Amino acid sequence: MHKLPLLVEPEDLKPRLREPSLLIVDLCQANNYAEAHIPGAVHLEYANLLLGAKPAPGLLPDEARLSATLSGIGLTPDKHIVAYDVEGGGRACRFIWTLDALGHPASSLLNGGLFAWANEGHPLLQQPAEPAPSNYQAVIGDQVVATRDYIEQHLNDGQVALLDARTPEEYNGTNVRAARGGHIPGAVNLNWLDTVDRTRNYRLLPDDALLAMLAKLGLRDDQEVITYCQTHHRSAHSYVMLRHLGFDKAKGYPGAWAEWGNNPDTPVET
C-alpha cells in the first residue's frame, strides 16, 4: 500500500491499523490512554522526550536515554510512526520533530488526534498494547535542531526566519515566563492555536488559509524557518505545520524561550 503522508486523516488510518509496518504512538496522559486509545497504539510518556532540567527543560535528552525510550515502544528504523495526542497535537508533533532530529525516515501526525478519532466514531480500546522491545540506536543530528548559538549567528540572515508560536502576550513581554519577557529579535508571532480549527476537532486549518497567514508574516518556503515557544512543545506543532506546507528547511529550537529568556546575554525585543 502507499506510504502515509505527513498529515493523515482518521478515515485514512482506520483501514490500515493492522499493517505491520505502522507503529501508532499515543502521547496522551497515561490515564487517558488507559481509558481509551486507538487499537494497537503504544503509549509513550511525553516527559521522556525532554531533558527536563532548568533553565531549558525542552532540550533533547541524551542519545542513551532516547535510545532506551524508543526501544521500549518497539521502534525500529523500518517502522512508519503515526503519532497522536488529545491536546491539539503539540505532544505528537514534538515526537515527530524528535524523530526528524534522529533521521527516522517516516512519520505522520494524525490530524485532529484523539479528538477527531473518537468524535467521528472510530474504534477505541482499553486493552494496553504490549510492544516487543527493540534495540533502537538514537543518533541526534543537526538538520532540524537549532541551538541558541546558531540563532545568534543568524539573527541578521535574511534566509533565516524565526516563528514564535506563543501567545501575543508572551511575545510582547506582558506575560513573562522567564527572567526576561519579549521575543527573539526579528521573530514574527503566530500563536499555534490560531492554526487549528476547534470546530473540526483541532485539525489544522486548510492549507490555503495557513499559507496566507504565513505570507502575511513575510515567511517564505525558501527560507530556513526556526520555530520556538517556551519549551518547543507548541512550536513543534508549528514545525510540523511548516513541513506539511512544503517548508522543507524548517527547524525547531528546543531551548526555546526558557533558555533564551533566562540567559542575561541574549538580545531581546518587546
**What pLDDT score was predicted for residue 252?**
99
Sign for the CA dihedral angle at 185, 217, 110, 143 comes to negative
In a domain, 138, yes or no: no
pLDDT of residue 2: 76
Quote the CA–CA distance of 44 and 215 in Å, as a whole number: 35
Shared-domain flag, residues 158 and 100: no
- 267 within a domain of the structure (yes/no): no
Whether residues 28 and 70 fall in one domain:
yes
Does some domain include residue 133? no
- The answer to whether residue 131 is domain-embedded is no
- Whether 127 is covered by a domain: the verdict is no
In total, how many domains does the chain have? 2
Give strand ranges (E) for 57-194.
80-84, 107-110, 160-164, 188-189
Low-confidence ranges of the chain (pLDDT < 50): none
Q: Quick one: which of 35, 125, 44 has its CA closest to 81?
A: 44
Work out the burial of residue 158: count CB atoms within 10 Å of its CB; fewer than 13 is exposed, 13-18 middle, 19 or more buried.
exposed
Clarify whether residues 94 and 165 are in a common domain.
Answer: no
Q: Which helix (H) or strand (E) holds 16?
A: none
Among 229, 240, 241, 242, the one annotated catalytic: 229
Same domain for 40 and 100, yes or no, is: yes
The reply to whether 84 and 152 lie within a common domain is no
Are 108 and 6 in contact by the 8 Å Cβ rule? The answer is: yes
Q: What is the CATH number of the domain that holds 66?
A: 3.40.250.10
Q: Are residues 158 and 112 in the same domain?
A: no
CA dist 60 and 218 (Å) reads 29
For residue 187, the one-letter residue type is A
**Is there a single domain that holds both residue 11 and residue 103?**
yes
Which residue matches cell numbers 506563543?
Answer: 166
Q: Are 155 and 224 in contact (CB under 8 A)?
A: no
Cα dihedral 174/177/178/181 (nearest 10): -20
- Kind of pairing between the strands at 203-204 and 196-197: antiparallel
- What are the beta bridge partners of residue 7? 109
Residues 105 and 31 in one domain: yes
The pLDDT score that the predictor gives to residue 196 is 98
Does some domain include residue 76?
A: yes
**Quick check: is 229 catalytic?**
yes
Domain boundary among 119, 137, 158: 119
Instruction: Supply the pTM of this predicted model.
Output: 0.98
Q: Give pLDDT tens digits for 52-67.
A: 999 999 999 999 999 9
Statement to judge: residues 247 and 167 lie in one domain: yes
Residues 148, 260: contact at Cβ < 8 Å? yes
Cβ atoms < 10 Å from Cβ of 36: 16
- Give me 146's grid cell: 537549532
* Domain identity same for 111 and 155: no
At 241 the pLDDT is 98
Claim to verify: residue 78 and residue 36 sit in the same structural domain:
yes
Looking at the fold, whether 39 and 88 belong to one and the same domain comes out as: yes
Taking CA 232 as the corner, what is the angle to CA 165 and CA 50, rounded to the nearest 5 degrees? 165
Residue 124 counted as domain residue: no
Residue 143 lies inside a defined structural domain of this protein: no
Domain that holds residue 106: 7-119
